[in-house]
């Protein structure tokens, strides 16, 4: 099975990705010359990690008939000026008061099943080429 993402350049520093019928806009902050009209590509990368982990949290709870009302998952990451990268990304899961204590550790393990994180730990091969129009 193959998935295709088609990228277009609608103006200034905006870049859009079309996946099937969905269009995902990106932009750069105004301080970087963009218009600040959409998340940056890196923000979307981070969002893909935390939403993927969130999916596994929901899946874990659904298979055990555990309500997810009040459950929240947040991610924080800070820019390291010296290394010029985000050196650490931290996810924090907030559970509802009535969440069964015996499932807390297994739920954390379920978050680690995120396929996006798995691709970071075991990266795919990247190949880039130029074709004539």
Query: Do 77 and 16 share a structural domain?
Result: no
pLDDT at 133: 86
CATH number of the CATH domain containing 57? 3.30.300.20
Q: How does pLDDT run across 98-124, given as a tens digit for each residue?
A: 999 999 999 999 999 999 999 999 999
The SS3 call for residue 69 is: coil
Residue with tokens 């099943």: 113
DSSP state of 102: G
pTM of the model: 0.90
Q: Is the dihedral of CA 117, 118, 121, 126 positive or negative?
A: negative
pLDDT at 43: 96
48's tokens: 């893909």
pLDDT at 37: 98
Residue 133 burial (CB count, 10 A): 2
Query: Do 58 and 31 share a structural domain?
Result: no
Query: Do 67 and 78 share a structural domain?
Result: yes
Domain count, the chain: 2
Query: Do 75 and 45 share a structural domain?
Result: yes
Average pLDDT rounded to a whole number, residues 2-29: 97
**Cα 25 to Cα 62: distance, rounded to the nearest angstrom:** 31
Q: How does pLDDT run across 36-92, given as a tens digit for each residue?
A: 999 999 999 999 999 999 999 999 999 999 999 999 999 999 989 999 999 999 999
DSSP code per residue over 26-52: E---GGGTS---S--HHHHHHHHHHHH
């Amino acid at each position: 099975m193959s998935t295709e993402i088609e990228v277009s350049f609608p103006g200034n520093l905006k870049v859009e990705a079309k996946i099937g019928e969905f269009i995902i806009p990106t932009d750069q902050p105004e301080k970087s010359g963009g218009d600040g009209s959409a998340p940056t590509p890196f923000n979307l990368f981070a969002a893909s990690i935390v939403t993927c982990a969130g999916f596994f949290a929901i899946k874990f709870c659904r298979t055990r008939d555990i309500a997810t009302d009040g459950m929240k998952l947040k991610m924080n990451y800070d820019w390291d000026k010296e290394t010029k990268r985000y050196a650490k990304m931290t996810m924090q899961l907030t559970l509802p008061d009535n969440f069964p204590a015996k499932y807390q550790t297994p739920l954390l393990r379920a978050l680690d099943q995120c396929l996006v994180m798995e691709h970071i730990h075991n990266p795919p091969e990247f190949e880039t080429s130029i074709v004539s129009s």
